Amino acid sequence: MHNFNVFTGEPRKFDPTFKGPIYNRGCTDILCCILFILALLGYFAVGILAWSQGDPRKVIYPTDSKGQFCGQVGSPLEKKPLLFYFNIMKCASPLVLLEFQCPTTQICVERCPDKFMTLLKALQNEEDREYYKQFCKEGVDMRKVSSGQETFLKSNAVVEARAVAMRIFEDYTQSWHWILLGLVIAMLVSLIFILLLRCLAGVMVWVMIIMVIIVIGYGIFHCYMQYASLKGQAGSDVTIKDLGLQTDFSVYLQIQQTWLAFMIILCIVEAVIILLLIFLRKRLLIAIALIKEASKAIGHVMSSLFYPLLTFALLFLVIAYWAITAVFLSTSSEPVYKVFNTTECMYSRDTCKPETFNSSNVTTECPDAECLFAFYGGETLYHKYLILFQFYNLFLFFWCANFVTALGQVTLAGAFASYYWAFKKPDDIPAYPVFNSLGRALRYHTGSLAFGSLILAIVQVIRVILEYLDQKLKGAQNKCAKFLLSCLKCCFWCLEKCIKFLNRNAYIMVAIYGKNFCTSAKDAFFLLMRNIVRVAVLDKVTDFLLFLGKLLVVGIVGICSFFFFTGKIKIVEDAAPSLNYYWVPILTVVFGAYLIAHGFFSVYAMCVDTLFLCFLEDLERNDGTADRPYFMPERLLSILKNQQSTWIY
């Protein structure tokens, strides 16, 4: 007789009719499904509205205060590709974040000013006057402007930032095909590694551990050799602090301190990994046993290895839609002009148009009035709610991305649960387990997936808001507010991790029993609490081993891309593109390789988690007798059940 506990719930009872994922099930969380569909329809409406109002050319070409594009071919400003800010200090205003534009008059110029000059000095000779005139608004009579009223502000920082962005863009245009090749190689390496892990799980885990240590060790050796080679060279002893911010990032690689920092970081990572392996040496046997069983499951459900491709495709659509909508929303602002004057005028601060201002009656009644640029935005209903549209775009991005991830988790969980609860493997495994599980998830549990994704999206948006507030308070002197904000950020980070863990296990229960999200989350939580020691020991150990696999894939692809893009591979030296910053494609390949490896290894992680929960339920439902036999293999049972001391010590 089992005892019921408010924190652990009642254990599962033996059910002779239970044979795995239940097929006769009904729709769950219907209200949340309807809400999700309505939210998607609203999302499409926001996208259509943004596309009708926005102009993405503002991202490609700098625009002046009149909305004209600098440097666009075929326009009057074709030979003026650069943007000059009258008062660049106004770009530090909070309005830049709200209106997505710098609230100061801007004009297109052929080149940026390279010398300081006042209006008084410019009026002294024709040459200086012509030089000064190119940085004035069109039609301005310089003789009517009070001397000393305007001064030049150098906009070198903006020019440099734009120059860096353009150089990075050029690097992508030169290396995009090589980046794609690197990502394909990362996909092949991940797939080969997964296939080898399926065939030789125990051997491959140890090979993976040793290879990660060797790869990081090589990184330490390379950093030391670079550090030693710079010793004694002129300027190599300059510190990063003294060097300051440089747009040519290769300069940092010419000083010893950079390589010393890299070496120290890698040494710390290496030491942490070795210490964890020593500390977890007994638990590794348990994790390896479960990974071996996961390899068998994946071997019988081979289509699961290719499911991440569907996840990648759906996430690509979500990210692309969000990015395009964000660009169109941020470029739908228009320059707004207001009437400015020094004397009393009834039209003061009214909206005006520069093209018709001189012919209007405003200049008659207010002779000193001018129609000047005020801000970027608009005064229509659409522009008033532009910030809300941006927020809605961000929120739906999180919701949709989490939904795609949840769909993959439920689909894989249903397929692997079908494998576990098949008494005679592989004869009792249903045909097309991944396809059937995907169909059940979409047909019956769209609402449950939307429910779990919504909770996670709300927490993630709150974290984004906290990060925004943290950036705004960086220059503030209120230490109490900073401390409180840091505590909130930490709490919501922990909350997000907990929700992800609970959602993942809730989706496994949804896939097996077909209940709603809250009931499934409660059942998963109680099951884990009844086996808290096993969960604490196994969950993070298997995650750690799979994380080492991701590191190995990323390390191999990263080292190969480094040698290729830096021209150190003699065979393909001529094929390497000429780049401004060779780290641009390298970092892109490394980041992409990690995402690809994470996608493939997530199949293993989901398989391990599903088999583990099924194993825990198997122990509660059955006792190993002829009437109530275990569904798990004998070898897995002997390691997971009989070695009780290993769970704790």
- Which H, E and C letters describe 128-156, residue by residue? HHHHHHCCCCCCCCHHHCCCCCCECCCCH
How do 370-377 and 334-340 pair as beta strands?
A: antiparallel
At 180, list the tokens.
Answer: 């794609």
Q: What is the pLDDT of residue 133?
A: 64
Per-residue pLDDT tens over the stretch 559-609: 888 888 877 776 766 777 777 777 788 888 888 888 888 888 888 888 888
Q: What is the pLDDT of residue 402?
A: 94
- Which H, E and C letters describe 58-121, residue by residue? HHHCCECCCCCECCCCCCCCCCCCEEEECCHHHHHCCHHHHHCCCCCCEEEECCCCCCCCEHHH
- Provide the mean pLDDT of the chain: 78
Q: Tell me the sheet residues that pair with 352.
A: 337
Kindly state the greatest CA–CA separation across the chain: 107
- For residue 269, the SS3 value is helix
Residue 1: pLDDT over 50 = no
| Cβ atoms of 128 and 93 closer than 8 Å | no
Per-residue pLDDT tens over the stretch 258-294: 888 889 999 998 898 888 888 777 677 777 777 778 8
Per-residue pLDDT tens over the stretch 427-460: 778 888 899 999 999 999 999 999 999 999 999 9
Per-residue pLDDT tens over the stretch 193-251: 877 777 777 777 788 788 888 888 888 988 888 888 887 777 677 776 666 555 555 66
Q: Which residue in the block uniquely carries the two structure tokens 């310089």? A: 142
Taken as a whole, the chain contains a residue count of 649
At 539, list the tokens.
Answer: 């969950």
Per-residue pLDDT tens over the stretch 458-480: 999 998 888 877 777 766 667 78
Q: What is the pLDDT of residue 342?
A: 66
Residue 372: pLDDT over 90 = no
Tell me how far apart the alpha carbons of residues 148 and 152 are, in angstroms, rounded to a whole number.
Answer: 11
- Give the closest residue to 396 by CA, choosing from 35, 152, 59: 35
